[in-house]
């Protein structure tokens, strides 16, 4: 029976259509057998035919588990991955699945020097093995310099006699190793006659891994290639090219991009604006150059475009550039309800360069508070989102004075109270989310408490009630414990569950009434499914509290000793 169980686990592990969890369980079952199963594993993997589905760029899911299993067995036996290929049961010709699994296992431990083994994999006759070996070398090259002999072999596999995926991955490894040959071949793989999936992978590598230290010649040639790709029919290639170009852009690049904005191709305009936005975000020198040149005048007409996506991207590009003139222009548009780009401008103010600095911070907050009084729900929702985003940015970046000033402006304005009982459920929910961003200010502003509690217990929309419960949990509102206990009786399961988790965040074992309520809930295991789910959640919270108490007691005992 044990032998049949092992054979079944191997069939599930190597089966092409096995679900992930089933494959994982099969792998764990085999791992529990210990090192005694190693000969059977090696023989099975070696005799299994090469796995070629799904085709590249996808990768067979079997190798995630076969590689980890082999690595685990090697650690149990205290042998190296290379020694697996010398096992007596294999004979002279280990098969492709075993080879690939070993290559993948080597990539899981890049800190170990398996370069000789990986170079052997590059010399095999199976493309899947060579690809896995090159990828493992690329992973190692991120943290360790490759041996000169390894680089020589990788240079050979960049040649046209090799398959495209292996050429790409060998170039990737060399690029990570700082070898100029990696960049050269990747640029060649961007050409129009190259298969689309290869070009897409090459642009992705350049967008994520391109080295920051390039010669002037390399920078110019790579920029020229990437600019050509901005208009590629494949949107993924165009977007990755835009991201790569923004990382290596020079003043000349920006100058070349300006005239391209005159095109009538809306998609190309958006891609170019994306490049300019990213440049402005990360390059201070070029951002100042873009302010001084005519970029602003080129973009202002786009704010009236009939295409919302183009208007939005033009707004974000202007916001990334920043500056007093741009701020004045956007502020004027915010106050003009007839302007077609009003909504997009309100949205982009949350990302305006220097938005948290005074006095610009005060201007932006006042503009957003003013448009909250408009009758247009979409505009109000966008303004609430922008205000909340500014608060979170100030909080997460440690800008405490900015956060306090924005919070005080919002509370003193008083519009948020009106929005908490607006007719639209969406507006009420967004107003609650803004309250969450207020944090401690919500605790001290007791005028808001009755409105929030009413929304939790009496609002007609279950989404608003759940949002109120979530907000209480996020800000740690102990003053809302009694309301949250009442919300446990809500007819909507999601609201009751959210209130329960909020209590789990706020209360402790010292809150006896909460502990009692959770104990009562935990006893409802035999009730219908909704009560059963709530009972399980209550039980989990009680266990978490109990474990925290035990850990605290251990720490106290340890400190006393």
Nearest CA-CA partner of 136 in 148, 124, 119, 149: 119
| CB atoms near residue 525 (< 10 Å) | 11
Alpha carbons 333 and 381: distance in angstroms, whole number = 17
Q: Report H helices in 323-376.
A: 324-334, 342-348, 360-371
pLDDT tens track, the chain, 561 positions? 577 888 899 999 999 999 999 999 999 999 999 888 999 999 999 999 999 999 999 999 999 999 999 999 999 989 999 999 988 888 778 999 999 999 999 999 999 999 999 999 999 999 999 999 999 999 999 999 999 999 999 999 999 999 999 999 999 999 999 999 999 999 999 998 999 999 999 999 999 987 667 888 989 999 999 999 999 999 999 999 999 999 999 989 999 999 999 888 999 999 999 999 999 999 899 999 888 777 788 898 999 999 999 999 999 999 999 999 999 999 999 999 999 999 999 999 999 999 999 999 999 999 999 999 888 999 999 999 999 999 999 999 999 999 999 999 999 988 888 899 899 999 999 999 999 898 888 888 888 888 899 999 999 999 999 999 999 999 898 999 999 999 998 999 999 999 999 999 998 888 899 989 888 888 876 555 545 788 888 888 888 888 888 887 777 777 776
Q: What is the pLDDT of residue 90?
A: 85
Q: Please report whether residue 285 resides in a domain.
A: no
Q: Please report whether residue 11 resides in a domain.
A: yes
Q: What is the pLDDT of residue 1?
A: 54
470 is written with which tokens? Answer: 């979530």
Q: Please report whether residue 82 resides in a domain.
A: yes
Residue 331 and residue 363 in contact, taking contact as beta carbons nearer than 8 Å: yes
Q: What is the pLDDT of residue 526?
A: 59
- Tell me which residue range forms the domain holding 105: 1-109
Burial class (CB in 10 A: 0-12, 13-18, 19+), 1: exposed
Q: Please report whether residue 246 resides in a domain.
A: no
Alpha carbons 104 and 139: distance in angstroms, whole number = 11
Q: Computed from CA positions of residues 22, 23, 27, 28, in that sequence, does the dihedral angle turn out positive or negative? A: negative
Residue with tokens 């850990």: 551
Q: What is the pLDDT of residue 99?
A: 95
Residue 203 and residue 244 in contact, taking contact as beta carbons nearer than 8 Å: yes
Q: Name the domain count of the chain.
A: 1
26 is written with which tokens? Answer: 């099969």
Nearest CA-CA partner of 281 in 329, 210, 352: 352
HSE, side-chain direction, 13 A CA sphere, residue 371 = 31
Q: Report H helices in 177-265.
A: 180-188, 196-209, 216-229, 235-248, 251-260
Alpha carbons 20 and 5: distance in angstroms, whole number = 19
Angle between helices 425-438 and 462-475 (to 10 degrees): 0
Q: What is the pLDDT of residue 123?
A: 94
Residue with tokens 């020589």: 152
Q: Please report whether residue 57 resides in a domain.
A: yes
Residue with tokens 């170039």: 171
Q: Please report whether residue 17 resides in a domain.
A: yes
pTM of the model: 0.83
Q: Please report whether residue 72 resides in a domain.
A: yes
Rg (CA), the chain: 30
Q: How far is CA 526 from the centre of its chain?
A: 40
Those residues whose C-beta lies under 8 Å from the C-beta of residue 361, and which sit 6 or more positions away, are 355, 390, 402, 405, 406
Q: What is the pLDDT of residue 534?
A: 85
Residue with tokens 């607006």: 422
Alpha carbons 252 and 255: distance in angstroms, whole number = 5
3-state secondary structure of 147: coil
Q: Please report whether residue 55 resides in a domain.
A: yes
| CB atoms near residue 135 (< 10 Å) | 23
62 is written with which tokens? Answer: 């079997």
């Amino acid at each position: 029976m044990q032998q049949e169980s092992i054979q079944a686990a191997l069939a599930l592990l190597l089966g092409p259509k096995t679900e992930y969890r089933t494959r994982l369980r099969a792998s764990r079952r085999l791992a529990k057998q210990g090192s005694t199963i190693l000969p059977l594993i090696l023989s099975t993997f070696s005799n299994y035919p090469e796995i070629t589905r799904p085709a590249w760029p996808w990768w067979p899911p079997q190798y995630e588990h076969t590689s980890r299993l082999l690595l685990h067995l090697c650690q149990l036996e205290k042998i190296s991955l290379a020694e697996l290929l010398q096992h007596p049961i294999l004979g002279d010709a280990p098969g492709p699945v075993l080879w690939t699994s070993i290559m993948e296992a080597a990539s899981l431990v890049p800190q170990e020097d398996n370069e000789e083994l990986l170079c052997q994999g590059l010399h095999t006759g199976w493309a899947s093995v060579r690809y896995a070996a090159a990828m493992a070398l690329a992973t190692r090259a991120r943290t360790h310099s490759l041996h000169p002999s390894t680089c020589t072999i990788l240079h050979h596999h960049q040649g046209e006699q090799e398959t495209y995926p292996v050429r790409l991955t060998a170039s990737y490894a060399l690029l990570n190793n700082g070898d100029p040959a990696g960049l050269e071949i990747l640029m060649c793989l961007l050409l129009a006659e190259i298969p689309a999936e290869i070009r897409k992978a090459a642009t992705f590598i350049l967008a994520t891994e391109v080295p920051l230290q390039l010669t002037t010649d390399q920078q110019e040639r790579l920029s020229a290639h990437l600019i050509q790709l901005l208009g590629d029919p494949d949107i993924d290639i165009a977007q990755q090219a835009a991201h790569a170009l923004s990382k290596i852009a020079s003043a000349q690049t920006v100058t070349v991009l300006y005239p391209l904005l005159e095109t009538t191709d809306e998609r190309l305009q958006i891609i170019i604006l994306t490049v300019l936005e990213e440049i402005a975000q990360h390059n201070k020198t070029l951002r100042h150059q873009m302010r001084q040149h005519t970029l602003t005048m080129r973009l202002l007409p786009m704010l009236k475009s009939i295409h919302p996506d183009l208007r939005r991207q033009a707004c974000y590009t202007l916001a990334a550039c920043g500056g007093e003139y741009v701020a004045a222009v956007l502020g004027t548009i915010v106050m003009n309800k007839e302007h077609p780009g009003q909504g997009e401008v309100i949205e982009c103010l949350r990302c305006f360069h220097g938005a948290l600095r005074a006095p610009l911070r005060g201007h932006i907050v006042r503009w957003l508070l003013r448009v909250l009084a408009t009758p247009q729900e979409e505009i109000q929702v966008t303004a609430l989102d922008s205000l909340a985003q500014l608060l979170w940015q100030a909080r997460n970046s440690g800008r405490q004075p900015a956060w306090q000033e924005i919070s005080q402006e919002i509370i003193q304005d008083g519009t948020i109270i009106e929005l908490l009982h607006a007719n639209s459920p969406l507006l009420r929910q967004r107003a609650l989310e803004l309250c969450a961003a207020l944090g401690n200010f919500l605790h001290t502003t007791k005028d808001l408490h009755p409105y929030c509690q009413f929304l939790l217990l009496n609002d007609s929309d279950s989404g608003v009630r759940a949002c109120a419960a979530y907000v209480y949990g996020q800000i740690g509102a102990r003053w809302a414990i009694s309301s949250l206990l009442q919300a446990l009786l809500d007819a909507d399961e999601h609201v009751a569950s959210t209130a329960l988790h909020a209590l789990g965040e706020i209360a402790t074992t010292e809150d006896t009434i909460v502990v009692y309520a959770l104990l009562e809930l935990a006893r409802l295991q035999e009730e219908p499914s909704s009560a059963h789910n709530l009972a399980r959640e209550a039980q989990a919270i009680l266990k978490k509290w109990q474990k925290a108490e035990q850990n605290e007691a251990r720490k106290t005992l340890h400190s006393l000793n």
